[in-house]
Structure 1
Amino acid sequence: MGLDGTHGGKAAQPVYQATAVPAQRGLPFDLAGWVNEPRPEAGPGVFRYGYRPVDPARTKDAGVPAGPLLLRAGLNLLVAWFAEIYAVGLVYYVAGLFGVVPQTETLALVVLLFVHAVVLTGVIKLFGRMGRWPEVWRRWISPLLARTVTHEEPAEPEQAPQPGPADPWHALRTGGAAPAAQLLAAAPVGDVDYVRIQRAWEAVQGDPKLLPAFAEQVTARGGAACAHPSEARDLPGRGARHDLLTRQVRLGTAQDVIKNPPGHRSAGFALDPALLGTSLLAVGPAGTGKTTRLARPVAEALCLQALAGTACAVVIGAADADLGPDDWYDVVIAPGDPRSAYGLDLFGAAEDVDEAAARLADALLPDELAARAESARIALQQTVGPFHAAYRRYPGVRELRALLGGDPDGWDALGKALRESGRFAAYEPDLRHRERQHGRADDPGALLADRLALLDRPAFAGCFPGAEPGLPAFAMRALDHPLRVRVKLPERSHPEAARMLSRLVLGQFVQATAVRKERALFAGLVVDDASAALDAHTVRGLQRMRGANAGAVLLLRTLVDLPEALRAPLFGAVGCRMAFPGIAPWDGKLFSEAWGTHLVRETAVTHAPDTSGGLLRKAGRAGRKALSGTTAQTESITVRDVERHRWSPSDLAHALPTGHAVVSLTTVDGEQVPPLLVDLRA
């Protein structure tokens, strides 16, 4: 990473707007306090900023009601008192029987104290454990003593002052950049600035030759040193709670319920690249908060991390989806919107021509025509390959549509250009095969041409590169840079074209992450409605992204929107799964099966008529039945461990409260967290 925030190579060149450091959290940002806030190690999904680990034993005891706990503690204290008195007497009695009695008063006193100490230790250990005295001390006695001491002895003014927070720029001061540290300490620096500058300092530590350039940047620009190419230092209107040091975004609070693991109960719930790297699938009907409480905060986190130089973000959704304002993004692609400043490169993900053509063919075909996908890929490769060899560029939408439709003038011009370039012999078999296919009823080229007609509309003029001049086209291979990209799909005006573009962008993202060189950047993708974007190729690619430091957040209204053949593979490809309230039972069944079962202790009570005893007891029971009308019964209690679903389909469909979700997590290292009930409103 260079000191200017770039990562080498060429990328799309968006028009950037310079912004000043905004007031963060409504007040001047306390950088020292933020840096030195405790961030203890915790399980996956726990928001570590300010987290206080809870003692598991304390958590277990806290579930005992106060009345029974105090009663048991008092009874054990009473029994312990008598036990201690009589145990000491018993020891002396036994000693007298054996004639082991101290001869002097001093020795007798010493022996008595020793016997009392030994007996008292054993009594406290035995009855203290049974009476749970440590929990009584923690709950009531220790707080009472603390309040009493505080009330009687106020804080003394002569106490030594507490040391101030540690210096956030200590590494710079001791590493040879003391003037830069002094300047940064006096400058307004936000959390994004701090992480970005620290990242640049790590580059300096790896290559000391960069130290003069780093010092020059800090001297000239202060907190804006090593800025993102957009010069933005924060996002306008950021609303979620972020911790850029751990790269976490807090989404809610794990509930204090028995279904949640003890270490997560009442703790903040957060996502980070270690979890997003396994990809996340969220399913829930419209209006349950998938976009507002999941997609937007994650998109905001990825954009902030891009400004800090640690990630790149691609966010796909309808033009009216609440995925943040355009100011959050460097590149906004809005096909069909005349105000759009960028277009989309239809072949921009792969360096190999055949691979690029295959991905475009997959995007063009709808799910119901998946059976013809292989012939469509071959037809498009036999068209795009010769065109690229002849003209040294990819065809535009109109050119490609004409060639696939069998336009004779276009094919004659293509053959002539290939002869002039000296490559006709290599591509002659493809040309001949396409020529034989033209006009046949099963020609996949005609099908592809009809599908391309959806993109060859006046509203999309200039959105896709070709022979005609158009908008600057964004190519997905630019993910080697900390870019923020928003793709606005025309779902209202051109719904089928929007479906094709969503499939194309997701397929290109999977391609680009597999071959990109700068894998230190986390590549994050957010798809607001992934029902049209998923196919067999992208589902297979999701699992491969784990090793490429990339991941996707996929939102679905229902799994029924996907072909049945994709549902189980999709669940196996993603590591994190999230169910929102109101999902259908058949959707909940897949979640329930994926989350498996666990052992539950079940208590069964059985009642049976009492037939025990002799003649007298039986006569008494007969009289009782005659007088009261009830039969005497015996009660039998059976306790056993049985397997139960962690979350049943019925629970997921009907028992989830509004604003909540159930989410299971898996890190890129393979660590798993069972399903958590999370309040996304907290």
Structure 2
Amino acid sequence: MEQPWDYLRHNDPAAAGILDALANDRTLEDIDRARILTAVDHAAHDLEIRQRLTAELTTLGSAAALHPSGLRTLPGTRFATHNMLAGQVRLGRVVPTANSALMRAGDFGIDHDVLRTSLMVIGPPGSGKTRSLAIPIVEHLALASLAGKASLVVIDPKGTDFAYDDWFDITIDPLNPTHGFSLFGGATNADTAADRLTAALLPPNVSDDKAYFKDASYNALYDCLAPYHAAYGAWPTVKELLALLRASQSVHDQVKAALKGTPGAKEWKEHLDNRVRQSQGSHDPAASLVERLARLDRPALRKIFDHQHRFEMRDINRPVRVRVAIPEADYPEASRVLARLVVSQFVQTASAPDTNRRIFKGLVIDEAGRYVDDYVARGVQKVRSNNAGIVLLTQTLADFPPDVRPTIFGSTGCKAVFGGVDPETADHFSRWFGDEWITQNTVSRGQTSSITYDDRTIFTRRSGHSEGHTQSVSSRRVERARWTPSDIITAVPPGHALMALATSDGNRVGPMLVNLRN
């Protein structure tokens, strides 16, 4: 039987033999099998990785190629059933209904290829969208990270929904700052750093007459970041950046002094002088940027952004598990800026040409309507081709800004909606699920006539008078909604969701009713 590690038999028969033995070891955990097979696949394309894997197989056996955390699985009982070799998680069971007559009962799950198209989940409070969908998906991606197949970033607005021990390598929490977060997402040049920070801090949409101020804010940020990075080879802290933007004479002088002897020092100094002239005008176009950045200049938040051990978004190109707790009750506006930074940096990193396409990169956003703008909505389509996807959970479509709704709804390939949603959301999903052709039968028997749709009696009528016992049947094809807004609001039972899926190559299935408690 052909094996994925057959390429080792010629150059390293000992390693191939170890892998043969592991393949026949029935006591081996599913995570171990998935992790080792992933390492074997990566080693096929990289001599250095292959040599390291061979050495570890020889000395460690089934413990080879461990995740940096040292974990071989997650502690405790699993919330869902996972197929780690196929990258699948079981979420529930399909329930056949008259609205989806072609759907058969059976297990329902999703895999990484489906998640690449991104998933929108909408349900009212208490519907179970976090417990039934988000937690199993997060658990699966955390396991996949241990297997070397995925990286994961979770935005947790409540701070408790995803707070599971050992599920994450890094927890970013302003109220408990054990790890920090990079304002600039690991950018290596001032142009990228200015773009990432401006996109997160400034309003996503401005009128044409105000677009100048947004562009000028970006230029002002670049005028400060580029000289500082050229002088020190690092990015400024929040306080230093605010001082640079406010054109503090002492800070500008310090940077200029550090630039002496640096290639291009004259040009960098001109950028600083340009920022001074801009700030002294009657209307400083960077004023809004300064005010928003000042919201991050709080003691607890400075500990996050100036932390010695900061998470940089470019780290999602390796198997890493990150949870970002958002303390909205303590810092509502600043927390929103932090979440927007995380989301925009993820999209920018995952859509970059140099991103690691070998692993799946997942972002799960609870209360997504607060943090998604048009830039992120359009980015959902870009990350798909780089083996990344986003799961967005919210209570209603109205949580998204009006100008963002069409883009974000159209960009997400997979949809899930729970019963009890508002009429506008239900109507939107009903139209998206589409119509179907059904048979309408009209049967007349003596004094009564009835209309049935696909053997379901819908209406019975009694005529004024009739003679005899004649019967006539007429049929015609009519078009009706697969799921009407009323069906979505009232006919989806608790613990169930209507789900439609898509794959990265454009195949689609659904909508189907799924029992998520099964």
TM range (shorter): 0.7 to 0.9
The residue number in structure 1 matching 2:452 is none
- CA drift at 1:344: 0.3
Are 2:149 and 1:310 aligned?
yes
The residue number in structure 2 matching 1:555 is 393
Q: Structure 1 pair 282/428, CA: closer, same or farther in 2 (3 Å)?
A: same
Q: Structure 1 pair 582/440, CA: closer, same or farther in 2 (3 Å)?
A: farther
Structure 2: distance between partners of 1:209 and 1:435: 50
Q: Following superposition of structure 1 onto structure 2, how do residues 207-226 of structure 1 map, counting pairs within 5 Å? A: 214=53, 216-226=55-65
**In structure 1, the residue corresponding to 2:82 is in which secondary structure?**
strand
Structure 2: distance between partners of 1:575 and 1:559: 16
Any conservation in 2 of the 1:581–1:654 contact (CA below 8 Å)? yes
Any conservation in 2 of the 1:183–1:219 contact (CA below 8 Å)? no
Are 2:184 and 1:350 aligned?
no
Structure 2: distance between partners of 1:367 and 1:204: 42
The residue number in structure 2 matching 1:639 is 475
Candidates 344, 361, 364, aligned match of 1:526: 364
Are 2:169 and 1:333 aligned?
no
> Number of residues paired by the alignment?
492
**In structure 2, the residue corresponding to 1:301 is in which secondary structure?**
helix
Are 2:218 and 1:398 aligned?
no
Any conservation in 1 of the 2:33–2:85 contact (CA below 8 Å)? no
The residue number in structure 1 matching 2:317 is 480
Q: Structure 1 pair 478/206, CA: closer, same or farther in 2 (3 Å)?
A: closer
Candidates 104, 107, 110, aligned match of 1:265: 104
* Letter matched to residue 565 of structure 1: D
Are 2:251 and 1:410 aligned?
yes
Q: Structure 1 pair 173/444, CA: closer, same or farther in 2 (3 Å)?
A: closer
Any conservation in 2 of the 1:343–1:473 contact (CA below 8 Å)? yes
The residue number in structure 1 matching 2:217 is 376
Q: Which runs of 5+ in 2 are unaligned?
A: 449-462
Any conservation in 2 of the 1:169–1:185 contact (CA below 8 Å)? no
Any conservation in 2 of the 1:187–1:222 contact (CA below 8 Å)? no
The residue number in structure 1 matching 2:507 is 671
The residue number in structure 2 matching 1:509 is 346
Any conservation in 2 of the 1:172–1:178 contact (CA below 8 Å)? no
Q: Structure 1 pair 167/681, CA: closer, same or farther in 2 (3 Å)?
A: farther
The residue number in structure 1 matching 2:457 is none
Structure 1: distance between partners of 2:8 and 2:265: 65
- CA deviations 1:423-453 (Å, max 9, x no partner) are 3443466444432332556423222222122
Any conservation in 2 of the 1:251–1:297 contact (CA below 8 Å)? yes
Any conservation in 2 of the 1:326–1:332 contact (CA below 8 Å)? no
Q: Following superposition of structure 1 onto structure 2, how do residues 127-166 of structure 1 map, counting pairs within 5 Å? A: none
Candidates 571, 582, 585, aligned match of 2:420: 582
* Letter matched to residue 248 of structure 2: D
Candidates 191, 204, 228, aligned match of 1:387: 228
- CA drift at 1:609: 8.4
**In structure 2, the residue corresponding to 1:565 is in which secondary structure?**
coil
Structure 1: distance between partners of 2:413 and 2:4: 37
Are 2:264 and 1:423 aligned?
yes
Q: Following superposition of structure 1 onto structure 2, how do residues 120-131 of structure 1 map, counting pairs within 5 Å? A: none
The residue number in structure 1 matching 2:84 is 244
Name the one with the larger helix percent: 1
- CA deviations 1:271-291 (Å, max 9, x no partner) are 111100011111112211111
- CA drift at 1:520: 0.8
Q: Structure 1 pair 603/235, CA: closer, same or farther in 2 (3 Å)?
A: same
- CA drift at 1:179: 4.9
Q: Structure 1 pair 261/607, CA: closer, same or farther in 2 (3 Å)?
A: closer
* Letter matched to residue 171 of structure 2: V
Q: Structure 1 pair 428/212, CA: closer, same or farther in 2 (3 Å)?
A: closer
Q: Structure 1 pair 638/458, CA: closer, same or farther in 2 (3 Å)?
A: same
Candidates 132, 138, 151, aligned match of 1:299: 138
- CA drift at 1:270: 0.6
Structure 1: distance between partners of 2:511 and 2:283: 49
Any conservation in 1 of the 2:437–2:478 contact (CA below 8 Å)? yes
The residue number in structure 2 matching 1:16 is none
- CA deviations 1:521-574 (Å, max 9, x no partner) are 111111112122211111111101111011010111222122110000111111
Structure 2: distance between partners of 1:300 and 1:494: 28
- CA drift at 1:171: 6.9
Any conservation in 2 of the 1:252–1:679 contact (CA below 8 Å)? yes
- CA drift at 1:409: 2.5
- CA deviations 1:381-431 (Å, max 9, x no partner) are 233233223332211111112222343332343344445535344346644
Q: Structure 1 pair 364/637, CA: closer, same or farther in 2 (3 Å)?
A: same
**In structure 1, the residue corresponding to 2:480 is in which secondary structure?**
strand
* Letter matched to residue 196 of structure 2: R
Are 2:203 and 1:362 aligned?
no
Are 2:129 and 1:290 aligned?
yes
The residue number in structure 2 matching 1:617 is none
- CA deviations 1:647-679 (Å, max 9, x no partner) are 222222232211111111110011011211111
- CA deviations 1:147-173 (Å, max 9, x no partner) are xxxxxxxxxxxxxxxxxxx99999799
The residue number in structure 1 matching 2:495 is 659
Structure 2: distance between partners of 1:179 and 1:392: 46
Structure 2: distance between partners of 1:590 and 1:419: 61
Any conservation in 2 of the 1:316–1:489 contact (CA below 8 Å)? yes
Any conservation in 2 of the 1:571–1:594 contact (CA below 8 Å)? no
The residue number in structure 1 matching 2:114 is 275
- CA drift at 1:585: 0.9
TM-score by length of 1: 0.66
- CA drift at 1:584: 0.8
* Letter matched to residue 86 of structure 2: T
The residue number in structure 1 matching 2:456 is none
TM-score by length of 2: 0.86
Higher CA-based Rg: 1
- CA deviations 1:1-35 (Å, max 9, x no partner) are xxxxxxxxxxxxxxxxxxxxxxxxxxxxxxxxxxx
Are 2:294 and 1:453 aligned?
yes
Q: Structure 1 pair 406/169, CA: closer, same or farther in 2 (3 Å)?
A: closer
Structure 2: distance between partners of 1:269 and 1:245: 17
Structure 1: distance between partners of 2:229 and 2:445: 83
Structure 2: distance between partners of 1:282 and 1:230: 31
Q: Structure 1 pair 361/508, CA: closer, same or farther in 2 (3 Å)?
A: same
Specify which structure has the bigger relative contact order, considering alpha-carbon pairs within 8 angstroms and separated by 6 or more residues. Answer: 2
**In structure 1, the residue corresponding to 2:155 is in which secondary structure?**
strand
Are 2:336 and 1:499 aligned?
yes
Structure 1: distance between partners of 2:503 and 2:374: 23
**In structure 2, the residue corresponding to 1:328 is in which secondary structure?**
coil
Q: Percent identity?
A: 39
Q: Following superposition of structure 1 onto structure 2, how do residues 579-658 of structure 1 map, counting pairs within 5 Å? A: 579-604=417-442, 631-632=465-466, 637-658=473-494
